[in-house]
Structures are given as C-alpha cells and as structure tokens.
Structure 1
Amino acid sequence: MPIENATAPGGAPVTLYLLHALGASAASFGRLADGLDGRVRVEGIDLPGFGTLADAHDSSLGTSVDHVVDHLARHARGRWMLGGHSMGGKIAALVASRVLRGEAPLAGLAGMVLMAPSPPRPEPMDDERRERMLSWVADGPMSMQDAETFLAQNTAEPLDDAAHAHAVADLQRTSPAAWRAWLETGSRIDASAEVGTLDLPVLVLAGTDDADLGAAAQPGLLASVYPRARFVSLADTGHLIPLERTAGAAAAIAAFVADEVLVGPVVPDDWAALIAGDRVDARVRGILNRRAVPDDRGYAPEVLDVAQLTVLREVADLVVPQDGPAIDIAARVDAQLARGEGDGWRNADLPPDPDAYRAGLDTLASVWPTDPVEREAVLRAGIEGKTDAAGPFDPERLKAWLEDVRNDLVRQWLAHPASMARIGYDGFATGGNPIRGYVELRLGRREDWEPVGVGGSVATGDAA
C-alpha cells in the first residue's frame, strides 16, 4: 500500500508574505495579489515606520525583523513563502535565516520571492545619492516634489495614474525617522554572517533599468546567499517592480511556485504548530524546518553520477512508494553521502559508503530493466543474494549493500516532518525550557498536547 502524503487543508493556495520597499507599504502589492488570485495568496506586511505603521517609534532593522516574525507567528499556517521588495528583501533574508535555524517560533517556510532585493551585505549606493535622499526628509515628511523625483529616478517608464498616486501617498506618509534609519544604518549593516546560506527555492526578479539593484547586479549580490536562486530579468523595468511590471512578476511567481515550491508533501497544520511551539528546542526545530524545505527539482548529485542517481531513485520508488508530491529520498541520500554522514556503522565486507554506493549501483545497473514492472523482481533477487548482476560486487556483497540502502532510504523518508505526522511520531516535542516530556507512556495513551493524528500507521512496499 503506497504512503499517502498530507495535503493542504481545502487545497488552498500557498500564501506569500511580502515585505515592501523603502517608502512603500503593504498595499503596494495589491495589484500583484489580484494578478495571482487563485494561484498564490499574497499578503503584504507593513513595516514599522511605513504604511499603517508610520507612527511607530522604532524602525530599526532588528525591530523590523522582530515585527515580521511576530506577525508570521500569528498568521502563517501550513506551507507558506516569504518575500521582499528592495529594503524588504534584506529583512526577509534575516527572518528566513531565523526560521531555518529554528530561532523563530515558525514552521512551514517553503520558498522565497525577492524583487530587486537589498542584499544581506551593505547595499550598493552612491554616497551623493544617499545624501540627496536624506535631504528630502530633513525638515519633516517628504514633499510632493521630492516624491515625484524619487519615482522618476526609480522607474523605467511613468506609472499609470492610479499607481503613481498610490506611490506618492506612501512616500509622503513615510516616517522621516524610518527613512533615515534605513539609509543611515539599515542599508549599511553587513548581515551576511547572520544570514549565512539559505538553501531553499528562491525567485529573484530584477529590472534591466534598475541602476543599483537591477538584473545585472543581483547574481553577484545573492548567488552565494541563495544557491538555489532562479534569477529572472524584467525588460524595460526599473526598481518599482510591483507597480511597473505586475503581470510579468505575477507570471514568474506562479511558474516558480508550480515548479519549485509545491514539491513534496505538506506538513499538516497541527504538526507544524507543534514544531513551532515551545515544547521543541530551537536546534531541533531548525533541523525539522530544513528537512521540510521542498527538494531541488534540478538537484545535481555530488557523490553519484546522474545514471547512478537515476537507478537509486527507481530503487527508492520500490522501497518507499509514495503517492502525490514525493520526497526525493534518493537525492537526500546522495547529499547525506556528500556530507560524510551515516548511521554509524558499515559491513566489514563493504568499502566506505560513497564507494559502496557507486559500486552497488553499477552492479545493479547491469541487470536493471527499463520496464518498471520487472524491477521489483530484480531488486528482490539482489536482496536475497540470487542476482545475475555482474559488476564490482558479487551477489553476497550486493545483498549486504542493499540492506544498508533500504535502511538509508527509509531513514530519509522517516526524517521528513510530514512522514513523522503520517506515522504519528512526536518524540521531537520533548524539549523546551523547562524540559517537558510525557506524563504516561502507554499504548493508546495520548497526551493533551499531542496532535489528534498521533498513532497513525504506514505501510511500505514489500521490497522494504
């Protein structure tokens, strides 16, 4: 019986939480939300000092990050994405790093969408331009004339009347203190060490006519931060992407979500809430959050070659068959080998794991059929030591290696938070401060804090 994957409640579209640019607001994403309606749910978040929070007293970078984390902790459920435009891109990177380290009480981050983002390192900006922008709020809120100048400098073509009026209104209600805080401090902070490398699906949109943060600059600014980034260049576009190229941005986001975010199983809401809760240590939460990140559809093997990984994926389909969006457990095993990780032991008749996998897969490939129906018999023969395969391993060593392979594949499946939910395992939720455990360990006994799904069962293919 195949393994069933958890699905999002009601099949609702994934939510993208977006952080706006300097001088903008959550409402600047309104048109984008309309363009993605039914495919991706878009929710903008006002940052301190802007939009509905223009009266906020503290608009520092750290306070803004805390504000976003708090908002997401109250609203983000299921599988969701985080994104940012310009200034919001740097804040989004800091929030995402906290989520993937487990330091934020959140679970479910599946990808990021960045529009002309400010990088984690100091933003490239000409000093003269910075001083000129600071002069616009020297005597109070920005004037209409200076707002018009800002828009002219940041767009490739004039905005339509409605978008123009909205952008001017946002600029004029921006807190002068928040404007200065970003230009004088926030944009200059080097947060590279704190952000580190964020290994998750990322879409980066940038305009060809954006001077500092445009399409030509973004790969150099972000490639080391986001190794899985998809860079999309928008022609005849300046810095104000959500207002200048709404349709193009919406199309790119929809394609990205379909290709790279809606991959693999969804962790049910009650289990995500448990992972995000105070019973789970930050380090454990971070491990689970990273395991739940969608697999890389373009994964390039590090230890195996492409042919060997293909055979391993086909073996995985027999050992751990999955219905619906599947975990790429074969790729996860290759990554495990590349990291030098394992279960702590190996058969004395086998070489080290990387060599054993290459030799075992090459041996299996000598008899591996193209017909999926015939593969189970071939795999079973190898498991029983009755194979006709010819290669680096004789039948006995192939048999021993296949025992390790099945163990690794099942372990990788079980390590995913959605799999833990499927079988009802919540042993990770025994931490916190003070440490909490179980009141009574007894068959059929469920604690009040445990999700209702505890005690589920799973059946895998016979070959396992």
Structure 2
Amino acid sequence: MTDDPVLFCLHFLGGSARTWRRLAEHLGPAARCVALDLPGFGDEAGQPGGGVAAMADHVASRIRAEAPRGPWLIAGNSMGAKVALALARRHEDGDPDLAGLAGLVLLAGSPPAPEPMDEARRQAMIAWIDADPETRRREAEAFVAANVAAPLNPEDHARTVEDVLRANPAAWKAWLTGGACEDWRGRVGTLATPALVVSGAEDGDLGPEAQAALTLPHLARHRHAVAIGAGHLLPLERPRALAGLIRDFVAAPPETAEAPTLPPAFAALMGSERVNTRLRRALRERMREPEGPFCLSPGARATLSACLDRVLPQAGPGRIDLARRIDARLASGTGDGWRYAALPPDAEAYARALHTLDAAARAAHGRPFAALPGAEQDALLGRATSGDLPAVPDGLAPALMTCWFEELRGEAVRTWLAHPAGLAAIGFTGIGAGGDDADALPGYRLTGLNEGEDWESPVRHVPMTAGDAR
C-alpha cells in the first residue's frame, strides 16, 4: 500500500466507537482510524439494530460519506468482523461504493458460519438485557470481565461497561438471535482481499482453533497472529501490539498463506548444471501455488487441512499447502490411475468423507473437526482407520472411510514429496543425477550406503541411518 490508509473500525457486541480509542493512539500516522457505531450501539443506540446485511448497509453508507482517497481497510472485533466479511464480499462483487478496500483486520472475529455459543449462555444474555437497572449493571460488569483474560484498567473497564448499558436492547437481541446465527458461508465464499486475523489465546468461543476452522478457510490471503494471554476484547486488551501488527500488515500484505521456500543449498543445486533443463522447469512449476479451479467448500477444505496436519505434520512457517494442492487435483479430475472400486470418484469421495469426519466431531465434541485439539482429532482418525465412525447422511459408510483414509495418507506423502521443498527437507539429491550433458556429468560415483559425493554435502543435511534418499 502506497498511501497511509483509512482504517474503518467496527466494534463488538455492546461496544462502541470508543472501543478503538487506544488503538488509534498507538497507530498514530500509520493509519487514520475512523471508528463507527453500529446500529443500536454507542451514539446510534436509538436504532433497533438488525441483521448482518443491514449493518453492512449502514457501514457502506458511512464509508461512502467519508469518501476515502486511496486505499482503506476495515477492522472488526467479534460482531464487527462478520459485518466486515460481508462488506469485503460486496467489494469483490464490484460494489462501486466500496472501491478501494485493500485489507481486512479481523480481531476475535465472528465467522461467516453461525457463531459457536452455548445456548444457555445466549438465553441468559437475552434475559438480562431487559432486566432492572441494578441487574443490568451487575450483568454488564460480568460480561466485560468474562470477555477479557485480565482486568482492564479502571477507565477502560468503566467506559466499556457504560457502552454495554447504553446498547439498545432490541439491537442486542437482534444480534444474539439473528446476526450471530446467520450462515454467510455460501455468500462470503473465499475472499481474495488480504486479511490480518488476530485471535486471543484465552478466548473461549472464538480463539485460535475456532478462527482456523471457521474463518481462515474463507481467506485466500491471510496472516494469523495469536495474542498470548488475551481474551476476546482485543482492541482494549492489546492496543499497542495490535498497532504493530496492523502497521506490518499495511506495509506488506500477505500475498499467499505461508508460501514455502527452499533452503539455499537445495536452491543452488536446482539451478546448477547438474540438473537438466526439463527437470528444473518441472520442479519450478511444482512450486507454483495452484490458482484453481477448486471443488471443496471452505469448510471441507478446513477439515482436510486439519487431517493433513495430523497425517503429515509440518513445523514452522512456509509449509506446503497440501490441502490446496489436493483440492486443485480433485477439481481437475486427474489422479494416479487407480482407486478402490467401492469408493465413488475422488472428488465425491473426499467431500463425503470430510463431511463424515466433521459430523463425527460435532456429535462427539460439539465442535467442527478443525477446531478440536490434536489428541481428539487423532482419536477420530483412528476410528476412521478401524471403520468405527458412525454412519451419517450423505457421508461415507464406515468401511469406506477406512479405504478413503488410506488413500488420503498416500496422497499426502505424494503431494509433499512432489514439491521441491519436500525433497529438500529429506536431503534428496537425486535431481542432480546429470545435467543436459549427461555424458560430461555422471550422476554418482560413490554408491555405498551413506557414502556421499562432494557436491551432495550441502544438501544432505538429514542424516541417513537406514537406506538412502537418492
């Protein structure tokens, strides 16, 4: 982004434009904050509120009136993030009033899917908003305290409680019974707008696991940061840290999510005369991220990604996006030439198997598969291996889940090893078996177990104790 952008800020349920005051102070000249009151809250408390589309209309009209020059962004905390996602979809669909949107900042965001919330807690929040003043103040104090990991400073706490108390009860209930429950997954789809997603490590409902499962699959270009020791009200809990993250995001929006890079030694071998031109071209083509078409829904892609993280863990940043590559392969209709005869065609088998796995997770734990801890995911995958998962409508039969999961494991390894970064990770040197002039560059002279050529030594950083990675 070339110019200092405008950052339009949308608050959480019960918040107001005042929620963003400290973040604006810390951002300084890096971005001009324009904090807005959503209908029914803050200075707009005279309005009855409404659903996500109505709130998006309200924000769009304010943005149009502001007429920002150059790039602008939308930041949304919790409820505000779902409205921001709806606006991003309108922008990508060509709404002229939203031209210039350059990024999303989603803080503990309510996802496109219906928001995960305990129903008893939802009903309690609906009940006390209409109670007598003493009860309302007591519950507002408890609401703010429950949504932060550590107490706010007294000034911020008092201001936030007052914001909750001046909320229009009709708007409060409209969100809890309407907007939070709306399913925008199909409408939002997958957004190309760059996004910074920040979750609080201590956030009970919308923490890192929920964001990974419910929000990130809708964002093609994202960066996800976790605020350690923070809860749900991130603009109040971590204004200084958020300002730093936003400045970095404005300076360098993510192009893709965690694109893998090659170690220098492997990159040098790949570019050397020991690798023939045709092979080098093929390896470089394999490094390109597939651009589509794809066939899995965002939710199914998230489940697939979570499965692959358990089947073939990849440490650190720059991981190969196996789920994206498998999804593109499924959409292309290509394959390795065989499948279990009992399984339907690959794309259908994957969609139905991932639906089965996610349904089993929700039945056993009340959460999607991608939001579960690793141990619970492993237990469900173990049941898939043994054919012990329950049958679900439109899913795969338990016995077929065993076949599918065997296929998935093989495809995960093949896809990982097809990428040069996977070959580099195991110290594979076979690409250097001879350049364009094979007679002048014999591949290997030393063929004993664990013997290495001089030119191999920088690449073969993985000790080989049994077998050989050639």
Query: TM-score, normalised to structure 1's length?
Result: 0.55
**1:259-313 deviations in whole A, cap 9, x for unaligned?**
217xxxxxxxxxxxxxxxxxxxxxxxxxxxxxxxxx5496679xxxx98xx99xx
Taking a change above 3 Å as real, the CA distance of residues 140 and 175 of structure 1, as seen in their structure-2 partners, is farther
Structure 1 partner of 2:62: 71
- Separation (CA, whole Å) in 1 of partners of 2:12 and 2:118: 18
Q: Which has the higher contact order (CA 8 A, sep 6+)?
A: 1
Structure 1 partner of 2:387: none
Taking a change above 3 Å as real, the CA distance of residues 15 and 129 of structure 1, as seen in their structure-2 partners, is same
Structural mapping, 1:262-281, within 5 Å? none
Structure 1 partner of 2:19: 28
- Separation (CA, whole Å) in 2 of partners of 1:157 and 1:235: 12
- Separation (CA, whole Å) in 1 of partners of 2:17 and 2:260: 37
Structural mapping, 1:364-403, within 5 Å? none
Taking a change above 3 Å as real, the CA distance of residues 140 and 199 of structure 1, as seen in their structure-2 partners, is farther
Question: One-letter code of the match for 2:221?
Answer: R
Whether the 8 Å contact between 1:113 and 1:204 is mirrored in structure 2 is yes
Whether the 8 Å contact between 2:10 and 2:37 is mirrored in structure 1 is yes
Taking a change above 3 Å as real, the CA distance of residues 133 and 57 of structure 1, as seen in their structure-2 partners, is closer
- Separation (CA, whole Å) in 2 of partners of 1:92 and 1:191: 12
> Which of residues 112, 124, 135 in structure 1 aligns to 2:127?
135
Whether the 8 Å contact between 1:111 and 1:201 is mirrored in structure 2 is yes
Structural mapping, 1:22-171, within 5 Å? 22-75=13-66, 76-139=68-131, 143-171=136-164
- Separation (CA, whole Å) in 2 of partners of 1:174 and 1:337: 44
Taking a change above 3 Å as real, the CA distance of residues 162 and 229 of structure 1, as seen in their structure-2 partners, is same
> Which of residues 210, 217, 220 in structure 2 aligns to 1:224?
217
Is residue 2:256 matched to residue 1:255?
no
Whether the 8 Å contact between 1:260 and 1:296 is mirrored in structure 2 is no
Shift of 1:156: 0.8
Question: One-letter code of the match for 2:241?
Answer: G
Shift of 1:229: 1.7
What SS does the corresponding residue of 1:203 show, helix, strand or coil? strand
Please state which structure has a larger fraction of its residues in helix.
2
- Separation (CA, whole Å) in 1 of partners of 2:183 and 2:42: 26
Shift of 1:338: 5.9
- Separation (CA, whole Å) in 1 of partners of 2:228 and 2:257: 27
Shift of 1:339: 6.1
Taking a change above 3 Å as real, the CA distance of residues 338 and 206 of structure 1, as seen in their structure-2 partners, is closer
Whether the 8 Å contact between 1:207 and 1:233 is mirrored in structure 2 is yes
**1:320-352 deviations in whole A, cap 9, x for unaligned?**
xxxxxxxxxx99xx7898669xxxxxxxxxxxx
Structural mapping, 1:319-398, within 5 Å? none
- Separation (CA, whole Å) in 2 of partners of 1:246 and 1:113: 13
- Separation (CA, whole Å) in 2 of partners of 1:104 and 1:140: 45
- Separation (CA, whole Å) in 1 of partners of 2:291 and 2:53: 38
Query: TM-score, normalised to structure 2's length?
Result: 0.54
Is residue 2:196 matched to residue 1:239?
no
Question: One-letter code of the match for 1:43?
Answer: V
**1:229-266 deviations in whole A, cap 9, x for unaligned?**
211111111111111111111111111221217xxxxx
Aligned-pair Cα RMSD in Å:
3.0
Taking a change above 3 Å as real, the CA distance of residues 57 and 254 of structure 1, as seen in their structure-2 partners, is same
Whether the 8 Å contact between 1:215 and 1:234 is mirrored in structure 2 is no
Shift of 1:18: 1.3
- Separation (CA, whole Å) in 1 of partners of 2:221 and 2:53: 26
Question: One-letter code of the match for 1:200?
Answer: T
Structural mapping, 1:310-325, within 5 Å? none
Structural mapping, 1:380-459, within 5 Å? none
Taking a change above 3 Å as real, the CA distance of residues 109 and 145 of structure 1, as seen in their structure-2 partners, is same
Whether the 8 Å contact between 2:75 and 2:81 is mirrored in structure 1 is yes
Unmatched segments (≥5 aa) in structure 1: 1-6, 262-294, 312-329, 341-389, 392-464
**1:54-84 deviations in whole A, cap 9, x for unaligned?**
0013433221110111111222331111120
What SS does the corresponding residue of 1:145 show, helix, strand or coil? helix
Question: One-letter code of the match for 2:166?
Answer: R
Question: One-letter code of the match for 2:46?
Answer: D
Whether the 8 Å contact between 2:200 and 2:230 is mirrored in structure 1 is yes
What SS does the corresponding residue of 1:77 show, helix, strand or coil? coil
- Separation (CA, whole Å) in 2 of partners of 1:209 and 1:14: 31
Whether the 8 Å contact between 2:223 and 2:257 is mirrored in structure 1 is no
Question: One-letter code of the match for 1:89?
Answer: A
Question: One-letter code of the match for 2:22?
Answer: R
Whether the 8 Å contact between 1:93 and 1:120 is mirrored in structure 2 is yes
Taking a change above 3 Å as real, the CA distance of residues 242 and 58 of structure 1, as seen in their structure-2 partners, is closer
Question: One-letter code of the match for 1:229?
Answer: H
**1:190-211 deviations in whole A, cap 9, x for unaligned?**
0111111111211111111110
Shift of 1:104: 4.7
Whether the 8 Å contact between 1:140 and 1:176 is mirrored in structure 2 is no
Shift of 1:86: 0.2
**1:157-195 deviations in whole A, cap 9, x for unaligned?**
111011011101100100000000000111001011111
- Separation (CA, whole Å) in 2 of partners of 1:140 and 1:181: 20
What SS does the corresponding residue of 1:217 show, helix, strand or coil? helix
Structure 2 partner of 1:408: none
Is residue 2:196 matched to residue 1:203?
yes
> Which of residues 169, 178, 186 in structure 2 aligns to 1:185?
178
